[in-house]
Amino acid sequence: MLIIGEKLSIIAKRVREAMFKKDKGPIQEIAKAQWNAGARMIDANIGPAEDGGEELMEWMVRTIQEAVPSPICLDTTNSKAIEAGLKAHDNQWGRALINSTSNDPERFPILELAAKYNCQVIGLTVGKGGLPADAEERCGIAAEIMARAMEYGVPLEDLYLDPLVLQIATSQDHAMHVIKAIKMFQELNDPAMKTVVGLSNISNGCPKHVRPLMNRQYFALLMYHGLSSAIADAVELSEIAKTMDVIMGKTLYAHSYLEM
Amino acid sequence: MPFTPPKESYNGKIFELGLGNGEKAVAIGGENVLSFHGFEGSTPRKPVIALEVQDIVPDDWPQTVREVYKDVYGDPVAWAVYCQDNLGAEAIALRLAGTHPDRGDISAEQAAETVKKVLAAIKVPLIILGSNHAEKDTAVLVKTAEAAKGSNCAIGKAQEANYKTIAAAAMANDLKLIAMSELDINLSKQLNILITQMGFDREKLITDPMCSALSYGLEYTYSVMERIKLAALAQNDPVLQPPMLADVGMYVWKVKETQAPEADLPEWGALAERGIAWEAVTASSFLISGAELLIMRHPAAVEAVKKFIAEMEV
């Protein structure tokens, strides 16, 4: 299970202020906390970043990689900012991951970047025409993204399919559609396709005290069904991930397994 | 079409661990495949067999094996030298059996003197073993570790009840440490975790999942070892990547099959041959299940196991 530490998002006030002030301190502190809790990739979410996105992403990549030996998930809709991030990215700890391409023609050029820079890319299974209705529709979109990836020269091993987790508070049915999609995505190729979710979206809009519980429980279910990675808070999930590894027989039980 | 044997490959690798100093130093481990699967990966080191020496007359050993050492036992230095020079031992395992409260209660200081003398007399690596009395071993192994500082010995066995003191002594004197748990794979992992949490380098550990003799629980040890090895290789679990020890001799030479006289059980065949075969078969089984280090007693059994190793490696 690859946890992509999600805490560096422009949506969070503290992070946003640090980004504007180019204050490395809070960014590096959060990145280290995610790394120490087991995140092996760090998400750098700079939002749409229409002004100064290139410079900001470049600064984020360098700032994070100064603090932790980790590849970066470049999370923005600004493709110029992505390219700037890819140029700055140090590949010695693994290749970068772009978040994301989709079935929206505006997002196709992202695949060109992935091919050009030989990096990994997330394929979000949505099109231009709104949200997918169920798991089957997500699979149909996934198949189109996969075909397009091959066309652009991105190997399927470098593509992570994202079924788009929706809020439980507003779209309850989709919680199970997404689990089913995770199962179905894996069958679309041999070796199985890699999968990723933006986990905390499930609890977006829930009361604060419910959110960690909802995130953890959903994560455990997704892990059981073969999810390969999650953009999530590693601090919140580290104990669940270790426990699931033990329950699923991926690591040998010992009384101190949580401390490993 | 010619037959192509299927090959497994693993992410994990067993730590390579060196014992002793100088030209007689040995190393075990380093492989990234199951035992004798050199055709699938790398097996840089052969298993090492240490001959057991005791600090007292081994009056609980049966005649077959006592006979071999009759001119030297009672004198651990002469015994160790005999094993090295006459029997070609690659390593010596000095078991301080006499420190046990029921077997002479030799003091920790005296045990440390014995260790010093043996170390001065031999060139091959030494493994220092207590008497398996958890409380007494704490005192004995601390003193003997100090006496062995710089010798790159292994000492043991650290168990759940006494690992803190013994691991600290091994750490302070830069020695390798044998961690023993009682035939339980999860407790074996747990003990290795606890020892490494003290700051002990896991690459200096030897795992002893507890041995047993053929027809006296061998299959339990076998299965635990096999699962440890698979977790180390297939799951790449660093806690289980230290090499493993099978302390064979002490379990074999107390079972009925190595002691019952021919007169009582003629259908069991010649006693001496039977005992040697029992030790050789027990030891070679544990090499297959994954042990990298053996402690044995009878030189003829050692010879048989070495032949087995040579044949398996072809």
- Helix, strand, coil percentages in chain A from 3-state DSSP, rounded to 5: 50, 15, 30
B186 touches chain A (CB under 8 A): yes
Q: How far is A251 from chain B (nearest CA, A)?
A: 6
**What is the C-alpha to C-alpha distance for residues A92 and A97, in angstroms, rounded to an integer?**
14
Of B189, B194, B197, nearest to A252 by CB-CB distance is B189
**In this structure, which amino acid lies at residue A62?**
R
In a domain, B4, yes or no: no
Question: Which 240-279 residues of chain B touch chain A by CB within 8 A?
Answer: 240
**What is the C-alpha to C-alpha distance for residues A132 and B47, in angstroms, rounded to an integer?**
59
A224 touches chain B (CB under 8 A): no
How sure is the predictor about A50, in pLDDT bands with cuts at 50, 70 and 90? confident
- Torsional sign, CA A109, A112, A114, A116: negative
Q: How many CB atoms lie within 10 A of CB B236?
A: 14
Of A252, A255, A256, nearest to B231 by CB-CB distance is A252
**Helix segments in B71-184, DSSP class H:** 76-85, 108-121, 134-147, 163-172
In a domain, B102, yes or no: yes
- Asked if residues B293 and B229 have their Cβ atoms less than 8 Å apart, the reply is no
Between CA B302 and CA B309, with CA B307 as vertex, the angle to 5 degrees is 95
Residues of chain B with confidence (pLDDT) below 70: 314
- pLDDT for A231: 98
In a domain, B120, yes or no: yes
Residues in chain B: 314
**What is the C-alpha to C-alpha distance for residues B17 and B170, in angstroms, rounded to an integer?**
15
- pLDDT for A126: 96
CB < 8 Å & 24+ apart, contacts of A18-27? A19/A46, A19/A56, A19/A60, A22/A59, A24/A63, A24/A66, A27/A60, A27/A63, A27/A64, A27/A67
The residue among B185, B196, B239, B241 with the most chain A CBs within 10 A of its CB, best to mutate, is B239
Of B193, B231, B235, nearest to A256 by CB-CB distance is B193
Parent domain of B278: 17-312
**B121-163 pLDDT tens trace:** 999 999 999 999 999 999 999 999 999 999 999 999 999 999 9
**Helix segments in chain B, DSSP class H:** 63-66, 76-85, 108-121, 134-147, 163-172, 185-197, 218-233, 248-252, 271-289, 299-312
Q: How many CB atoms lie within 10 A of CB A62?
A: 16
- Asked if residues A260 and B239 have their Cβ atoms less than 8 Å apart, the reply is yes
Of B185, B193, B235, nearest to A250 by CB-CB distance is B235
**Inter-chain touch B235–A251, beta carbons under 8 Å:** yes
Tokens 């996934």 label which residue?
A142
ipTM computed for the complex: 0.85
**Inter-chain touch A254–B227, beta carbons under 8 Å:** no
Between CA A93 and CA A103, with CA A98 as vertex, the angle to 5 degrees is 155
The closest of B172, B97, B188 to B137, measured between CA atoms, is B97
- pLDDT for B217: 94
What is the number of domains present in chain B? 1
Q: Which residue of B lies nearest to A250 if distances are taken between CA atoms? A: B235
- Asked if residues B239 and B192 have their Cβ atoms less than 8 Å apart, the reply is yes
**A202-227 pLDDT tens trace:** 999 999 999 999 999 999 999 999 99
Rg of chain A in Å (alpha carbons) = 18
How sure is the predictor about A35, in pLDDT bands with cuts at 50, 70 and 90? very high
Of A252, A256, A259, nearest to B235 by CB-CB distance is A252
**What is the C-alpha to C-alpha distance for residues A11 and A16, in angstroms, rounded to an integer?**
7
In a domain, B66, yes or no: yes
Q: By CB neighbour count within 10 A (0-12 exposed, 13-18 middle, 19+ buried), where does B226 fall?
A: middle
In a domain, B26, yes or no: yes
- pLDDT for B314: 65
The closest of B168, B194, B201, B198 to B180, measured between CA atoms, is B194
- pLDDT for B235: 95
A252 touches chain B (CB under 8 A): yes
**Inter-chain touch B193–A253, beta carbons under 8 Å:** no
Of A252, A255, A256, nearest to B237 by CB-CB distance is A252
**A139-183 pLDDT tens trace:** 999 999 999 999 999 999 999 999 999 999 999 999 999 999 999
B197 touches chain A (CB under 8 A): yes
- pLDDT for B4: 86
Of B194, B197, B240, nearest to A252 by CB-CB distance is B240
User: Average pLDDT of chain B?
Assistant: 97
A250 touches chain B (CB under 8 A): yes
Q: What CATH number labels A2-259?
A: 3.20.20.20
A254 touches chain B (CB under 8 A): yes
**Inter-chain touch A256–B186, beta carbons under 8 Å:** no
**B74-96 pLDDT tens trace:** 999 999 999 999 999 999 999 99
In a domain, B2, yes or no: no
- pLDDT for A49: 86
**What is the C-alpha to C-alpha distance for residues A163 and B290, in angstroms, rounded to an integer?**
44
B194 touches chain A (CB under 8 A): yes
B235 CB neighbours in chain A (<8 A) are 250-252
- pLDDT for A191: 95
Half-sphere exposure of B30 (CA within 13 A, CB side): 14
**What is the C-alpha to C-alpha distance for residues B189 and B185, in angstroms, rounded to an integer?**
6
Q: Which residue of B lies nearest to A253 if distances are taken between CA atoms? A: B186
**Inter-chain touch B239–A254, beta carbons under 8 Å:** yes
In a domain, B10, yes or no: no
- Helices B76-85 and B108-121 sit at what angle, rounded to 10 degrees? 30
Q: What is the DSSP string of B201-228?
A: -GGGEEEE----BTTBBHHHHHHHHHHH
Tokens read off for B89: 């031992």
**What is the C-alpha to C-alpha distance for residues B279 and B285, in angstroms, rounded to an integer?**
10
Q: What CATH number is associated with residue B285?
A: 3.20.20.20
